[in-house]
């Protein structure tokens, strides 16, 4: 008898169901006696013993279904040791639920914060496997996270759609792409969508250089300019501030986001009309793209093999095109960022894309 638990934590994405399906199908095809428990709404389900027993039928027909059949929530790692409003010790409660169900393994699907809690539970003696989920692609130790490629498709489609209206009206358009700390999604979607300027959190921009790039296009007879701007893009001036000073600056910002601030600066400096488009949470919605379906099936199957082998304490990642068991202790808490001098940035610059520097 094998008893496994599943939970999805943090922000949702398109391929969570596909990944869970990969795990469970990989187990049902190779283990005769299996019990699967799904914890509802992320770590909250594990903390408050809120779960339901699942069987193979629950995982039928969900390969193409977005969101998560288990629901999700955010239980920040920084508050995991803080008792709840009734004084409940969250870590002790999670361990109690795990032991009460006599689980052999808990498979946790989520991003960076989720991973840190997964590693904490590993340190507490639980058998843990983590599957790397985030549209930001910022989890260290894996070449790619599931959800990323689906989000690229949506963000790119938004930029594609902007092209026609931007060209028709000779305007500057800013498309704000998700990504507070890292710019992988903005970088890929910006290049794929033919953006002229790409602004990332890792490369503080010079407003004057952004405006120069727009004017250069205008002088060359190109009537429109498209900017792909990460929601966490930051100017050189703001990057020079302390963390406390920057938080205060953002709190007092008179614009909804950095994109609107940049738009105002461009209009004042160049006199050109500027419009801002924010695809927002559409980037996390809809069905997973074919590439994510394949990725999740592979990651799920690899997780199932680790369970069959009784080999725990790993993130199941993709490294050089192959699934790999990456020790959680080596990657938890680390962020995979876009390096300003990486090959992809250099290649994008060579084609004329400006990064505002």
Question: What are the average pLDDT values for consecutive 10-residue runs of the chain, which has 357 residues?
Answer: 96 94 96 96 97 95 96 93 94 97 98 96 98 97 98 97 86 95 97 98 97 92 94 95 88 91 93 93 95 98 98 98 98 96 97 97
Domains 2-147+288-331 and 148-284 alike in fold: yes
CB 196 within 8 A of CB 226: yes
Q: How far is CA 171 from CA 64, 137, 199, in A?
A: 37, 31, 18
Which pLDDT value is given to residue 232? Answer: 96
Phi/psi for 225 (5° steps) reads -140, 140
The strand ranges marked E within 149-306 are: 172-177, 197-199, 225-230, 274-277
Which pLDDT value is given to residue 84? Answer: 93
Residue 85, judged by CB atoms within 10 A of its CB (0-12, 13-18, 19+), counts as exposed
Which pLDDT value is given to residue 246? Answer: 87
Q: How far apart are CA 43 and CA 10, in angstroms?
A: 9
Which pLDDT value is given to residue 248? Answer: 87
Q: What are the residue boundaries of the structural domains of the chain, listed by start?
A: 2-147+288-331, 148-284
Domain at 148-284, CATH homologous superfamily: Phosphofructokinase domain (3.40.50.460)
Which pLDDT value is given to residue 120? Answer: 98
Which pLDDT value is given to residue 171? Answer: 87
Give the global pTM: 0.94
Q: How far apart are CA 266 and CA 208, in angstroms?
A: 9
Structurally, at CATH architecture level, domain 2-147+288-331 sits in 3-Layer(aba) Sandwich (3.40)
Which pLDDT value is given to residue 166? Answer: 84
Q: What is the signed CA dihedral for 184, 186, 191, 192, rounded to 10 degrees? A: 100
Q: How far apart are CA 207 and CA 218, in angstroms?
A: 17
Positions marked catalytic: 136
Residue linked to tokens 């095109």: 321
């Amino acid at each position: 008898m094998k008893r496994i638990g599943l939970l999805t934590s943090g922000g949702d994405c398109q391929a969570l169901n596909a990944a869970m399906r990969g795990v469970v199908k990989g187990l049902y095809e190779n283990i005769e006696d299996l019990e699967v428990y799904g914890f509802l709404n992320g770590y909250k389900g594990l903390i408050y013993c809120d779960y339901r027993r699942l069987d193979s039928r629950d995982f039928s027909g969900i390969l193409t279904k977005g969101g998560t059949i288990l629901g999700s929530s955010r239980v920040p790692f920084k508050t995991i040791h803080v008792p709840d409003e009734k004084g409940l010790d969250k870590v002790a409660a999670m361990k109690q639920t795990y032991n009460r169900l006599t689980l052999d393994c808990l498979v946790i699907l989520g991003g960076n914060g989720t991973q840190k809690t997964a590693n904490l539970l590993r340190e507490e003696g639980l058998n843990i496997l983590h599957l790397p989920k985030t549209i930001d692609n910022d989890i260290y130790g894996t070449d790619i996270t599931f959800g990323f490629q689906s989000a690229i498709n949506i963000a790119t489609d938004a930029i594609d759609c902007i092209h026609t209206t931007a060209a028709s009206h000779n305007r500057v358009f800013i498309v704000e792409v998700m990504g507070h700390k890292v710019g992988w999604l903005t970088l890929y979607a910006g290049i794929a969508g033919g953006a002229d300027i790409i602004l990332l959190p890792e490369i503080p921009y010079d407003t004057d250089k952004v405006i120069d790039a727009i004017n250069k296009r205008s002088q060359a007879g190109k009537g429109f300019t498209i900017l792909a701007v990460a929601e966490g893009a930051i100017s050189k001036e703001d990057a020079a501030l302390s963390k406390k000073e920057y938080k205060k600056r953002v709190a007092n910002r008179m614009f909804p986001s950095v994109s609107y601030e940049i738009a105002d600066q461009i209009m004042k400096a160049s006199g050109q009309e500027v419009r801002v488009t924010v695809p927002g949470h559409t980037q996390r919605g809809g069905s997973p793209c074919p590439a994510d379906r394949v990725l999740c099936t592979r990651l799920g199957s690899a997780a199932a093999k680790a369970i069959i082998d009784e080999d725990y304490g790993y993130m199941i990642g993709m490294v050089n095109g192959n699934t790999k068991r990456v020790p959680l202790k080596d990657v938890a808490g680390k962020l995979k960022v876009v390096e300003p001098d990486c090959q992809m940035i250099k290649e994008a610059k060579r084609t004329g894309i400006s990064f505002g520097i």
